[in-house]
Amino acid sequence: MQDQLSHYENKLRWEIDSWDLNESRRNGQNVVVIDARGAAAYDAEHIPGAVSLPHREMNEASTAGFDRDALYVTYCDGIGCNASTKGALNMTRLGFTVKELIGGLDWWKRDNYPTEKGEASPTIGCAC
What is the DSSP secondary structure assignment for residue 116, as one 8-state letter?
E
φ, ψ for residue 91 (rounded to 5)? -65, -35
The candidate with the shortest Cα–Cα distance to 111, out of 19, 47, 45, 24, is 19
Assign 94 a pLDDT band (cuts: 50, 70, 90): very high
Q: Can you tell me the distance from the alpha carbon of 28 to that of 99, in angstroms, rounded to the nearest whole number? A: 17
pLDDT at 70: 98
Query: What pLDDT, in 10s, does the model give residues 23-39?
Result: 999 999 999 999 999 99
Q: Answer yes or no: is pLDDT of 120 > 90.
A: no
